[in-house]
Amino acid sequence: MKRILSILIFSLFLGAMGNLYASRGSVVENPIDVFEKSFENKVLSIQRKTQVNANLPVHRALFYGTHNSYNSKSYAGPFFSYAFPNQKYSIGEQLRLGARFIELDVHWTLGTRARKELLLCHGQDNHVGCNVFDRPFYKGLEEVRDWVSNVSNRNEVLVLYIEDKFDGHSSEALQTLKDYLDPWLYRYSGSCSDIPSPENMPKLGDMVASNKRILLMSNGCYDSQWSGYFKKIFFGASTGSPKEFKGYPDCNYSRATYNSSMVRFFNDTTNYFGFYDGVKESGSFTDANIQSMLACEVNVFGIDQFDPDFAKKAIWSWNSSEPNNWAGSEHCAVVWSNGRWNDLNCSSWNRFSCKDASGNWYVTSGGGSWSSGNSQCSSETGGRYKFSAPLTPYENRKLLEAKNSVSAGDLWINLTDQTSEGNWLSGY
């Protein structure tokens, strides 16, 4: 009995230590847990929720995520399974770090049950490079299901991109998706190959309200049932690498492209003993080029070796340590000289940020308390401009340029959390 009790106590101790890592003889907290409790994670959550509150169409929203999400060293198995990983962390951990674009390569190939099945494999179209010990497709979907079904993620929207190498087994792939994720899968109308027009793009707020919060994309189209769940990748030819990126304001693609479709940049860290060097071929993501891509409104990121440091680089809105609701009296937002936001007492005096229907920004010459924004914007422009807030990093950059052109100080933007602390909405 004593031995059984000792084993039980030891097992409980190991369970309690499950979220701790060993480092040079000391015990440190799991970096994913540390990130989730960080102020930066709070800001990223507010940033995403603000786009949901505005019901932004998906081609304008930010889906910051990972490349070859399934190919992680956390899944390393026998006989070099996932021996050349693109990621450090599991799919579930990537989602906890804020990845909202997940990419799965799905092959119909030989698995551990001595027959062909759907595997998550980093291989060629003919399945060369796949390993019988690679994980089944459904295992990756289990991780997505665990995340999307968590009530704390009820306002989150995910793009799930399936790179399909099914060898004619698309029906099995779709059924597996439905078995694990059907309650959350967005339903399309029309053909898989028909990319929605800007005015018909799915909208974040609508997706959250209906709880259809997973948007499926694939690189192939199949039967009518497939078309009900999939669209061919929205970004299509609008895909590049950090090495190819020309910076803001060139942005590689026309403004018309950004206004009508998703634009994706991804990198590759795969290195096959020097025969192929992904970093050399694709370049690397840095804080500088990520911020420049955000300013262009690149909205799909496929980042290799995604970690807490990369996760934090997606912040484009609030300034460091903001919003902080100092003294419990700051419920309206201003934009500072660096283009970042601060929460402020709504009765303070500032000039206003105004936008017209074409997306042009105007800075008022007069000012006042935050609640005067609509009347001030309207009176100075004959009603052509409305008190507004930038909802994307591109809009934020254009507002900053307008602000700098008239040497304005801090400006009110039309965001407030007066009705619910931390839930920032366009106001009056």
Residue 139 contacts residue 120 (beta carbons within 8 Å): yes
Alpha-carbon span 405 to 32, nearest angstrom: 42
Residue 413 contacts residue 398 (beta carbons within 8 Å): no
The strand pair at 158-165 and 101-110 is best described as: parallel
Percent of all residues in the chain with a pLDDT value above 70, rounded to a whole number: 94
**Number of neighbours of residue 375 by Cβ within 10 angstroms:** 13
What integer is the mean pLDDT of 233-251?
94
Instruction: Give Cα separations from 130 to 73, 79, 84 (angstroms).
Output: 15, 11, 12
Q: What is the pLDDT of residue 88?
A: 97
Phi–psi pair at 381, nearest 5 degrees? -125, 10
pTM equals 0.93
Q: Residue 292: is its pLDDT beyond 80?
A: yes
Q: Residue 77: is its pLDDT beyond 70?
A: yes
Kindly report, residue by residue over 90-110, the tens digit of the pLDDT: 999 999 999 999 999 999 999
| pLDDT bucket at 189, cuts 50 / 70 / 90 | very high
Q: Residue 6: is its pLDDT beyond 50?
A: no
- What torsion, rounded to 10 degrees, do the Cα atoms 164, 170, 175, 180 define? 0
**Number of neighbours of residue 280 by Cβ within 10 angstroms:** 12
Sequence-ordered list of residues with C-beta below 8 angstroms from that of 357, at least 6 positions apart, any chain? none
Sequence-ordered list of residues with C-beta below 8 angstroms from that of 30, at least 6 positions apart, any chain? 19, 20, 21
| pLDDT bucket at 18, cuts 50 / 70 / 90 | very low
| pLDDT bucket at 30, cuts 50 / 70 / 90 | very high
Q: Residue 299: is its pLDDT beyond 70?
A: yes
Alpha-carbon span 418 to 424, nearest angstrom: 8
The one-letter amino acid code at 290 reads I
| Tokens 């052509």 sit on residue | 384
Kindly report, residue by residue over 310-366, the tens digit of the pLDDT: 999 999 999 999 999 999 999 999 999 999 999 999 999 999 999 999 999 999 999
CA proximity to 74, closest of 306, 309, 314, 311:
306
